Amino acid sequence: MADRKLQLTLNGQPVVTEVVPDDLAMLDYLHEYQNLTGSRLGCGQGICHACVVIVDNPDGTCEEVRTCITGAHYFEGKKVRTIEGHAQLDDAGNPVALSPIQQKFVERFAFQCSYCAPGFVNAATVLVENAQRKPLKKSELEGAIEASLGHHVCRCTGYVRYYEATRDVLGDLGLVKEG
């Protein structure tokens, strides 16, 4: 085992950690080194997607990545957003406004225990932001939601409401075109 330095951008802030074990999982890095405990460990084996974060790609697109099965050093030089990076905060660091997806998930009572919610928020945000670059056709809408959220597991079975809320946000933001 060896240690190495890790540099990345985390929720908009450049971060450097001098000593990170080479085989540390990203989820453990977030929890133990950054005190960002919002990303959840569910299955720990790449199935439930409770642990996903958002990676912003250089080409302007973004994607979700599972942090339980991906090493921290995979994120070297990458721009990463976690669930802590969505809401607007005041100077004291308290949330003052939720993101559109977060807000709609609350209004729609999408989650109950909320264990899966960080993963769903990140996945739905990726869908919305990618639709902002390339709006969806109405005929693609359901398939796109399924492709984004379908592999996320919610043991409180909030699926229908998650889907409804996501559909609402896409519609409200004018990201669904006729066709």
Partner 1 sequence: MTRVFSNLALAIGAVFAFAAQAADQQVIKRGEYLARAADCMACHTAEGGAPYAGGLPIHSPFGTIYGTNITPDKQHGIGNYSDDEFFAALTEGKRKDGANLYPAMPYTSYHLIKREDADAIHAYLQSIAPINRAAPTTDLSFPFNVRTGLMGWNLLYGKSVQVQPAAGNSEAWQRGQYMVEVLGHCGECHTPRNLIGALEQDKRLSGGVLNGYLAPSLLAKDLAERGWTQPDLATFLKHGMSAQGSMFNEMYPVVHHSTQHLEDGDLSAMATYLLGDQPPAARVVQAVAHETMTASSQRGRQQYLNVCAGCHGADGEGKPHIAVAMKGNTILRQADSRNLVKVVLDGIREQQFTGFERMQPMPGFAGKLDDQQLTDMVNYLREAWGGLPGDLSTEQLAQLKVD
Pick 37 or 114: Cβ nearer ligand FES: 114
**Given the complex with partner 1, which of 71 and 158 has the nearer CB atom?**
71
Chain position carrying tokens 């540390």: 24
Cβ 12 to partner 1, closest distance in Å? 23
| Burial readout 8-24 (b: 16 or more C-beta within 10 A, e: otherwise) | bebbeeeeebeebbeeb
CB 23 within 8 A of CB 74: no
Amino acid sitting at position 171: G
> Which residues lie near partner 1 (CB under 8 A)?
1, 4, 22-23, 25, 45-47, 68-71, 73-74
109-168 residues in contact with ligand FES (CB under 6 A) are 111-116, 154-156, 158
Residue 108 binds which entry of ligand FES, partner 1, none, CB below 5-8 Å type-dependent: none
Q: What CA–CA distance (Å, rounded) separates 156 from 1?
A: 39
Distance of alpha carbon 75 from alpha carbon 30, whole angstroms:
11
Smallest distance, ligand FES to C-beta of residue 130, A? 21
**β-strands 95-97, 62-66 pairing:** unpaired
Beta bridge partners of 122: none
CB of 71 to partner 1, least distance (A): 4
Instruction: Give the shortest CB-160-to-ligand FES separation in angstroms.
Output: 12
CB of 62 to partner 1, least distance (A): 14
- Cα separation, 6 vs 75, whole angstroms: 8
Q: What is d(CA 117, CA 102) in angstroms, rounded to the nearest whole number?
A: 9
Select 46 or 171, whichever has its Cβ closest to ligand FES: 46
8 Å CB contact between 162 and 124:
yes
Instruction: Name residues contacting ligand FES, limited to 36-95 (CB under 6 A).
Output: 41-44, 46-51, 66, 68
Binding partner of 74, given partner 1, ligand FES, none, CB within 5-8 angstroms per partner class:
partner 1
Q: Applying CB under 6 A, which residues contact ligand FES? A: 41-44, 46-51, 66, 68, 111-116, 154-156, 158
